[in-house]
Amino acid sequence: MRVLVRYHEIALKGRNRPFFVDKLVLNIRRATADLGAFHVQGFSGRVSIECPDDVDWAVLEERLRRVFGIANFSRVLEAPRTLEGLEDAVLRSLAGREIGSFRVQARRSDKQFPLRSSEIDRQIGAAVARATGAPVNLGAPDTTIHVEVLQKHMLFSFERLRGPGGVPVGSAGRVMALLSGGIDSPVAAWRMMKRGCTVQLVNFHAFPLQDRTMIDKVRELAGILARWQNRCRLFLVPFGPVQQQIVASCPAPLRVVLYRRFMLRIASTLAYRHHAKALVTGESLGQVASQTLDNLSTIGAAATLPVLRPLIGMDKDEITVEARRLETFDVSTLPDQDCCQLFVPRSPAVAATLREAEAAEAALDLPGLVATAVAATEEERLRFPKL
Ligand code: ATP
Ligand code: MG
């Protein structure tokens, strides 16, 4: 079986193009590593995949729908490099297939071919109409028969399936995303993967002060996200000791802001250690008390790396639509014990200033608490597909 993969955005990257195409090829290899002997390579502005005929197309299709950088892809068939050869092969593979209205769209990658694309379109179109009785429709056909003229042969296909777009994972550097058990943070992590980042995940949990429900959810969410990235690291940070210190020494209304500031400090330290260049959160402006502009900036000030917030301007409804499409929604909405609900005061501060936060933290051993949490962090490595 042969599949042609097309990319849009990465085609625009000029001199960097080979770098992006190499990443795309590598990611396609990884996404299909368990499906058999695949031959994947870039050629003339596309990526070509050759694999055994017994590979389950439905499975392969699903895998390719999750490789960022793919604009669209088609299963293609081969024909000899003559008009008669093409006509014959197209008609043979049309036998028993219902195509509805159709058009032919040829492209000459090899400009030496004596006929122009439009002539190929016309001649093959006429032959298909004659043989099948199907009407030609140039505007909105049910089926488009794509033809590619290459140097040694021709390729044709009857379908063009949409890929996820974006840019290949691994082409934009590494980031560390804060993954809670909620709806937003998995979407935020996914959006950064789509922009080409390799995303590492970090979760803060209060086990054993709370039960393991959040850890279980986060593992499951990480598994879903790993399907888009093939390899994914998940860091689980025991956060209970930090929370206990904050509760013991700081004013109650500031607790949530102080929890968050510690999360960003600890995540920054882990990010340095694992070569991530930025942090990612699922924050969206004004969504909850901890996400007012004042609180966001007071919280963000604790990070020593840039904090990316891909959902900052999105409504909850819009985020929910994405979470459902990503299939994280049903996991995110399972009940859990979220560490931020631990010791939460009745009226959390909605406009904590940096000065207030720093004054409250003066009572704490910041480096010690961060170092202890980092030392107690557990790392898990996820792989998809599992080999
Ligand atoms: P989410 O649905 O992502 O939990 P949320 O609307 O519940 O978002 P908050 O609980 O205020 O928002 O959290 C804001 C962001 O802070 C989250 O999107 C996540 O990136 C990070 N965060 C919060 N709690 C945790 C946690 N326990 N572990 C890791 N990251 C967290
Ligand atoms: Mg949350």
10-residue stretch averages of pLDDT, the chain, 387 residues long:
89 79 97 97 91 97 98 96 96 92 93 93 96 95 95 94 96 97 97 98 94 94 98 97 96 94 98 98 87 94 98 97 98 88 82 95 97 98 92
Amino acid letter for position 302: A
Check if 339 has its Cβ closer than 6 Å to any atom of ligand 1. yes
Closest ligand 1 atom to the C-alpha of 177?
20
Check if 204 has its Cβ closer than 6 Å to any atom of ligand 1. yes
CA distance 225 to 231: 9
Residue 256, C-beta contacts closer than 8 angstroms, at least 6 positions apart: 289, 290, 340, 344, 348, 349
- Residue whose CA is closest, atom 23 of ligand 1? 180
Q: In terms of CATH architecture, what is 2-162?
A: 2-Layer Sandwich (3.30)
- Residue whose CA is closest, atom 6 of ligand 1? 184
Check if 48 has its Cβ closer than 6 Å to any atom of ligand 1. no
CA distance 348 to 298: 14
Residue 194, Cβ neighbours under 10 Å: how many? 19
Ligand at shortest distance from the CA of 344: 1
Distance 182 CA to ligand 2 centre (A): 5
CA dihedral 129, 71, 42, 40 (to 10 degrees): -90
CA distance 149 to 145: 13
- Residue whose CA is closest, atom 7 of ligand 1? 182
Query: How confident is the model at residue 287, as a pLDDT?
Result: 76
Tokens found for residue 313: 């301007």
Confirm whether 2-162 and 174-383 share one CATH topology: no
SS3 365: coil
Query: How confident is the model at residue 135, as a pLDDT?
Result: 96
Residue 383 main-chain phi, psi, to 5 deg:
-135, 140
List the domain boundaries for the chain.
2-162, 174-383
Task: Strands of the chain (E only): list them.
Answer: 2-6, 39-43, 46-50, 72-79, 102-108, 143-149, 154-157, 161-162, 174-178, 198-205, 231-238, 279-280, 307-308, 378-383
Query: How confident is the model at residue 329, as a pLDDT?
Result: 98
Tokens found for residue 379: 């790392």
Question: Which residues does residue 383 pair with via DSSP β-bridges, in sequence order?
Answer: 231
Task: CATH number for 174-383: choose from 3.40.1410.10, 2.102.10.10, 3.40.640.10, 3.40.50.620.
Answer: 3.40.50.620
Candidates 268, 193, 274; CA nearest to 226 is 193
- The greatest distance separating any two alpha carbons of the chain, rounded to the nearest whole angstrom, comes to 86
Check if 185 has its Cβ closer than 6 Å to any atom of ligand 1. yes
SS3 45: coil
Q: Are 383 and 34 in contact (CB under 8 A)?
A: no
CA distance 110 to 148: 9
Closest ligand 1 atom to the C-alpha of 280?
20
Ligand at shortest distance from the CA of 340: 1
Query: How confident is the model at residue 255, as a pLDDT?
Result: 94
Check if 283 has its Cβ closer than 6 Å to any atom of ligand 1. yes
Place of tokens 């695949």: 38
